Amino acid sequence: MTRPDSLPDFFADGIQVATGNFGVTLTLLLSDPERSGELGDPVARIRLSPELAQALLKILSDAYPTRPPATEGDT
């Protein structure tokens, strides 16, 4: 088993998602302020089973619930 302190540490500020019949691929990207409007450079690729991707979606959805758009008169 890999020790947690030996795992690489990545920072990303963008993501690409690709889905297929047998899994999901998340590509984490790092943008360059000098190249505004372009996709960032890949820093890591994560391949997930559909079941794990669904569990991750549920976890993130619960952690960051969406809010309805504000309407006039809302403060």
Percent of the chain at pLDDT exceeding 90: 51
pLDDT tens-digit profile of 36-67? 777 889 999 999 999 999 999 999 999 988 87
Confidence (pLDDT) at 68 = 73
pLDDT higher than threshold 70 for residue 26: yes
The chain-wide mean pLDDT, for the chain, equals: 87
* 3-class SS letters over 10-60: CCCCEEEEEECCCCEEEEEEECCHHHCCCCCEEEEEEEECHHHHHHHHHHH
Ordered structural domains, the chain, with CATH: 12-63 (2.30.31)
